[in-house]
Amino acid sequence: MTSPDRSPQKRPEKRLFVKTWGCQMNVYDSARMADVLAPLGYAPSDTPEGADMVILNTCHIREKASEKLFSELGRLRAAKEATGGRMVLAVAGCVAQAEGAEITARAPFVDIVLGPQSYHRLPEMVARASRAAGAVIDTDFPTEEKFDHLPEVSAPQGPIAFLTIQEGCDKFCSFCVVPYTRGAEYSRPAAAVVAEAKRLVAQGAREIALLGQNVNAYHGEGPDGRSWSLGRLLREMAGIEGLDRLRYTTSHPRDMHDDLIAAHAEIPALMPFLHLPVQSGSDRVLKLMNRGHAAADFLRIAEKLRAARADLALSSDFIAGHPGETDEDHRATLRLIEQVGFAQAFSFKYSARPGTPASGAPLQVPEAEKDRRLQEIQALLREQQVAFNRSRLGMHMDVLFTGPGRHPGQMAGRSPWLQPVHAEGGPELAGRILPCEIIATHPNSLAARIVGGARSGDPPNQEKAAA
């Protein structure tokens, strides 16, 4: 790799293509895998064709995960053959963790199978794969080791950045594979998180979303040797100069403690939008799901959050047709949605995940009934989302511009409530937070007019962030 190249033409770099399914944590992980491979000469590529290495970063949370993986692998087989077999093909993420050797049994042309806790060992696996006759499989679990060994974030993420602070889950909801694929809860030390946040800000980030499967269960070691809660960490992060917006996702109602709720009142940079999955509005189903709280607890938390910050809007996740859910339970979910009022939410048809307690539970709900319930939930949530977006009409708000919009002369950005916003403007706006007036609303986005110049505190060097 380091052989001297005396020809005038630069030796091409190795090309790396990463395809990512699933949540923001996977997006973050994909970026970190690219960071790990960069010192080996791998540079990102937009297509798998002709790439020297392809990583499929998979998600196992809902159905058809393995079907999607194997059909993608089927397509990649030809691309690999076209490189004379030189392409290194890796399967990463939660399907890799869950299925391990089954993947290489079904797709022997796969070179590497690695679980989410093994990304720091990728270079070593690439080297082993080039020597080994068979595939290299690594699905071990020590999370601490991973974060200790990953290099510092290298590629700038732009004005909105993601930072994983917590991984894994000890909650064992009846329907969920995460505790099995991501392992036990682990929180990164606060100092490492703050240092990474500062690097992201130096690279142009103005908004950081802290990520974790159970992010509000965060209990990382603080520089004072004590365990820091998420509330404590957020207060520390609020002091980082140039960091204007903070978010965290995904949270569990059980870990929504008063100290964290108070942070919403105290920290202006903490955006008034929170994703807080409740899954069901029926106490009976919440119990079957092993969620550890009742519907009334969720309502109380929503009230407290709004008391802490009046403009706070909520998002959530719902599952239609968990085993044992009756029509009455389903109606309790609709009632909870009515009572809370969501700005936005995700809803899914229950799908049995192998190895989870609910998958073998009695009283599985028939597919057609799950469909019907899901449609009712989605119709109501959509109504609420449209109403929430409409309620922003005429409002003045700060918009963080991120990059070009869909049409020429247009820029796209995000509202404090994470709504996509479009406004007329040029690329020089990227990375700037500007006061805007909302002039039109759509079901999934807002249209705005910029009403002022740089907001106070807008760093003068934002052109850098646009790069």
Q: Interaction with ligand 5AD in 279-338: which residues (CB under 6 A)?
A: 279, 317, 319
Nearer to ligand 5AD, 104 or 166 (CB): 166
- The span of 6-14, 107-115, 348-356, 374-382 binding ligand 5AD (CB under 6 A) equals 348-356
Is 356 within 8 Å of 328 (Cβ atoms)? Answer: no
Binding test (CB under 6 A) with ligand SF4, winner from 15, 80, 171, 422: 171
- The span of 40-48, 52-60, 132-140, 344-352 binding ligand 5AD (CB under 6 A) equals 344-352
* CA–CA gap between residue 398 and residue 438 (Å, rounded): 10
Least distance (Å) from ligand SF4 to the CB of residue 116? 13
* Token output for 463: 């052109």
Number of residues that bind ligand 5AD (CB under 6 A): 12
| Helix and strand numbers, DSSP H then E, in the chain | 15, 19
Binding test (CB under 6 A) with ligand SF4, winner from 247, 252, 330, 392: 252
- The span of 174-182, 264-272, 330-338, 370-378 binding ligand SF4 (CB under 6 A) equals 174-182
Nearer to ligand 5AD, 317 or 369 (CB): 317
Q: Is 62 in the site for ligand 5AD (CB under 6 A)?
A: yes
Candidates 152, 159, 111; CA nearest to 134 is 111
Q: Is 350 in the site for ligand 5AD (CB under 6 A)?
A: yes
Least distance (Å) from ligand 5AD to the CB of residue 321? 9
* CA–CA gap between residue 122 and residue 302 (Å, rounded): 42
Which residues are CB-contacts of 413 (< 8 A; sequence separation ≥ 6)? 399, 400, 401, 402, 420, 421, 422, 423, 429, 448
Q: Is 176 in the site for ligand SF4 (CB under 6 A)?
A: yes
Q: Is 430 in the site for ligand SF4 (CB under 6 A)?
A: no
Residue 370 DSSP one-character state: H
CA angle 370, 376, 382 (to 5 degrees): 130
Would you put residue 301 in left (φ > 0), alpha (ψ -120 to 50) or beta?
alpha
Least distance (Å) from ligand 5AD to the CB of residue 282? 15
Give me the DSSP letters along 282-348. -HHHHHHTT-SS-HHHHHHHHHHHHHH-TT-EEEEEEEE--TT--HHHHHHHHHHHHHH--SEEEEE
Binding test (CB under 6 A) with ligand SF4, winner from 101, 172, 184, 339: 172
Binding test (CB under 6 A) with ligand 5AD, winner from 176, 302, 397, 438: 176
Is 273 within 8 Å of 416 (Cβ atoms)? Answer: yes
Binding test (CB under 6 A) with ligand SF4, winner from 31, 94, 173, 433: 173
Q: Is 32 in the site for ligand 5AD (CB under 6 A)?
A: no
Is 402 within 8 Å of 430 (Cβ atoms)? Answer: yes
Q: Is 219 in the site for ligand SF4 (CB under 6 A)?
A: no
- DSSP bridge pairs for 61: none
Least distance (Å) from ligand 5AD to the CB of residue 63? 7
Nearer to ligand 5AD, 322 or 392 (CB): 322
Candidates 112, 172, 111; CA nearest to 139 is 112
* Token output for 192: 């490492």
Nearer to ligand 5AD, 221 or 317 (CB): 317
Positions in the binding site for ligand SF4 (CB under 6 A): 169, 171-173, 176, 178-179, 213-214, 252
